[in-house]
Amino acid sequence: MNFCCDCGGPLSLRIPERDDRHRHVCDTCGMVHYQNPRVVVCAIPIWNDKILLCRRAIEPRHGFWTLPGGFMENDESTLDTARRETFEEAGAHIEVGELFALFNLVQINQVQLFFRATLPEPVFAPGIESLEVALFAPGEIPWDELAFTSVSCTLREYFKDRAQGHYRLRVADILHPPGQERRIHPHNFAHD
């Protein structure tokens, strides 16, 4: 950031009074410009015993499979985001259920939310961000072709809960220290 979006004045990176972090502060009007994590909202759309997945037509991870989801917009609830992203990516209308998983991805400033959802009928089509969309039974999931760690963790935990007949909220940090392999620090995931 170089200029204030309020007055157009130059910004300096400094610690504002009564704060403990460096922020972009306007040298002219004093406005503090906060930069906060971005929220990604995804759905786990279920029809009968199958899950709806999308093959990505965009980077990152072009050509890999994922659950429908994306960045939350201003003036939108998390449930609205899950519905909108599922329609945009998979051409499907869903009924959003309970929050199933929450991941903190601190290194990339993201919080990812995964909601269980029902696909009332098997009507779907690839959106502009998807190469294809398909329903997968548990034994058909393309595990080696899943785009993101959070998606594979969510699906594994979902199938565990479904087998037990009850669902519970999962919370975890996905850590990716520079030069090291990605690790999951579960707060309340089931231990194998």
107 domain-assigned: yes
Closest CA to 153 of 172, 129, 134: 172
Whether 147 shows a pLDDT value over 60: the answer reads: yes
191 domain-assigned: no
What are the pLDDT digits (tens) for 28-66? 999 999 988 999 999 999 999 999 999 999 999 999 999
User: What is the model's pTM?
Assistant: 0.88
d(CA 162, CA 179): 36
Range of the domain at 31: 1-35
Helix (H, G, I), strand (E, B) or coil at 136: strand
d(CA 113, CA 40): 6
Q: Are residues 64 and 31 in the same domain?
A: no
Confidence band, pLDDT 50/70/90 cuts, at residue 180: low
What integer best gives the mean pLDDT of the chain? Answer: 93
Vertex 115: Cα angle to 46 and 83 (nearest 5): 80
Confidence band, pLDDT 50/70/90 cuts, at residue 179: low
d(CA 152, CA 172): 13
pLDDT for the residue 28? 95
Q: Are residues 10 and 42 in the same domain?
A: no
d(CA 48, CA 65): 20
pLDDT for the residue 139? 95
Domain of 21, CATH number, reads: 2.20.70.10
pLDDT for the residue 192? 40
Q: Are residues 95 and 136 in the same domain?
A: yes
Domain total for the chain? 2
Which range among 65-69, 136-140, 173-177, 187-191 shows the weakest confidence by mean pLDDT?
187-191
What torsion, rounded to 10 degrees, do the Cα atoms 79, 83, 89, 93 define?
160
Residue burial 16-26, b: 16+ Cβ < 10 Å; e: rest: eeeeeeebbbb
